[in-house]
Structure 1
Amino acid sequence: MRILVVEDNPKMAESVAKSLQELDYGVDTVGTGYEAEELASSDVYDLYLLDLMLPDRDGIDLCRNIRRMGIKAPILMLTALSGTARKVAGLDSGADDYLTKPFEVDELVARVRALLRRGAASESTKLKHGEVEMDLAKRTVRRGEERIKLTAKEFALLEFLLRNPDKVLSRSVITEKVWDMNYEPTSNVVDVYVSNLRRKLDKPFPDKLIHTVIGTGYRFGRGDG
């Protein structure tokens, strides 16, 4: 599960991120609405934590913009304001829940877990692109009638590719989203795993789905996409 924390207070952002990372969530943090929209456009997050007051825009406007992108992931709004009107405005803008600052970490974690369970219940457990189908609940992958056996990390890599079809994905983005770490130019870990995935998913079939974009990274989809 990946979570985007949008909070302009560095100490609070770090504290929230650390608490969530200790529970094995992948966490990115940004301090402005602009940065949040840039990352949200990739639509790879399972939940958003939005501060109501940001330096460059109102969190309510940011929440509306995220929903306009077609993103359905749960949004938990963090606010230092206890007024009912602002909370209602936040919920009306598309937020699923709100939490008033200061808050206890245990309460934050409980809200996050509840929203993620709600999102998982409403989201299809299957990802499909062409003849490739991934069952997230059963942890299985098929291409046509053939079942493809993958390691846990190969499964995570394919899931990311399936969620971003026909997009050019850089090695740095893949490393950050799949491995949850910074990309090192001298590392070939992405290339190794892509090669393994190709061998299992592409090699036995005439139509190739994983394509190298020279100088950039990879794209998943039909060759003429």
Structure 2
Amino acid sequence: MKVMHVDASAKRERSNSRALSRYFLERLRGEGVDLEIDYLDVTVDTPPHVSEAFAIATYTPANERTPAMKATLASSDALCKRLLEADALIFAMPMYNWSMPSAFKAFIDNITRTELTYVNTDDGRIEGQLGSQKVLFITSRGADLRPGTPFSSMDALTPSLKAAFGFLGVADPTFVDAQPLQFSNQEARAEALERARDELSLVAARWAQAELSSQTHEAIEAL
């Protein structure tokens, strides 16, 4: 399984989302899945923020782009290629002020590309091109934003990720959210992380079962 793994926390060893994404990959390997990891840390290799030149170039038909336009889009083109070549996408990030880190927003802006990650059909529809990939979002939140809690209405992260990747064809992403963390006591933090690890173990088992079943089916077809 080829996995694109993206981390977006400004923290390093103290990052809960990074630790949880590593845990998930360990569980996948533990389930017997052979992994090829394409790793990106957007806090280190931050995609360029949208500029006027980028906006003009991306909506210029590919066969009409100048060399300068092609150079402007080169890193975005490469990111889109990495996404499209992956079997599964793992995005790990903290919630910053109710939404995503700005570096991950820049990533989304760079991968939302007409005629690459989404296409305009002849009958006027938009078809996202990431419909075949498994997608997992691992998030950490300082407060408890689960349904029924006082802050639940302030979760702008989940709907924005669903909207952005739904546009690209991801119909049913999986979310594992560790919460509450920073703004809670030690016992509540420990429970939140354990709950997230338990959920990730279940997701890993489900992905592994699907991957092994797919390999078996391919082997039978090859006979």
- Per the normalisation by structure 1, the TM-score is 0.40
Q: Identify the structure with the greater helix proportion.
A: 2
TM-score (norm 2): 0.41
Greater RCO structure (CA 8 Å; 6+ sep) = 2
